[in-house]
Amino acid sequence: MIKEQVKWYPVYTNPRAEKKAFDLLTQKGIECYLPLYRQQKQWSDRKKWVNEPLIKSYVFVNIAASQITEVLMTNGVCRFLYFSGKIASMPDKQIEQLKLLLASESELEVLDHHFTKGELVKIIAGPLQGLIGELIEFQTQKRLLIKIEHVGQSVLVKINSIFTEPF
């Protein structure tokens, strides 16, 4: 018997339903990843640290093609993303880079637009060592821009340029 190849797929969820969809997919035994970061929220009477999705309305699933219907039949899941008429998959390396970014506890900022200028750099030291991204100037601070293909999102990380080299 041939084992089906599994791939990472970005799945679009209902607004503010990422955690619910993640929990339900996990209960079904589907390997999934929901990148979360800690953010301080301000209410009228208090401040509180909460875990927020890094990329709004997205969960990533690692499945075989035969499991696509099962994912779509999960509450909170809207649809898969398509690219050129096919369901878009992501390289394992991009998921690993996301995990590395979140493990580093660097200050993150998510942008909904793409950057076209800048050079590719590799981080040569520190907790993000080995990460490759696009270096940009942003309000006099150097930040590393990591593009996440097929999702239309970018993640900015503050990093000193001394820790980077051209790629």
Which of 61, 90, 119 is at the close of a domain? 90
Residue 150 pLDDT: 67
Q: What percent of the chain has pLDDT over 70?
A: 84
Both 107 and 60 in a single domain? no
Of 13, 99, 102, 104, the C-alpha closest to 59 is 13
CATH code of the domain containing 83: 3.30.70.940
Residue 117 pLDDT: 59
- Domain-embedded: residue 76: yes
Query: Total domain count for the chain?
Result: 2
Domain range for 146:
95-166
Of 32 and 150, more confident: 32
pTM of the predicted model, to two decimals? 0.74
- Domain-embedded: residue 142: yes
Both 43 and 72 in a single domain? yes
Which of 63, 90, 117 is at the close of a domain? 90
Helices then strands, each counted (H, E), the chain: 3, 14
Both 24 and 77 in a single domain? yes
